[in-house]
Structure 1
Amino acid sequence: MYERLKRLYQEGRASEAMLKNAVKRGWITDEEMQEIIASKKEPEVPVSTPESR
């Protein structure tokens, strides 16, 4: 559930309120919620593949 919520939050399809609700339901921990929120603020580094060179 952590990975799904992280992806949805980064895509803008989940809000902080939704993450807080997920903590209340026991789907993720409070620490995981903080990691998800922090991950959106960090720029994603694209992975270089041989095909993209």
Structure 2
Amino acid sequence: AEIDTVEKLAKLVPCEHEDLLNVTLRLLLNLSFDTGLRSKMVQADLLPKLTTLL
């Protein structure tokens, strides 16, 4: 069951702890293959946060 996973992960981006950020980004990448979760990522304003990390 989905329990606001994307919203909780969005709070961790950006993060000062490099290992935590790395694991969070990898998890978000895996979750992004689900169209529903991908749209939640857009709604959670993750795209601007992710582009600042580039």
- The interval holding the TM-score normalised by the smaller chain is 0.3 to 0.5
Task: Name the structure where helix makes up a greater proportion of residues.
Answer: 2
TM-score, normalized by length of structure 2?
0.35
Structure index of larger Rg: 1
- Which structure is higher in RCO with an 8 Å CA cutoff and minimum separation 6? 2
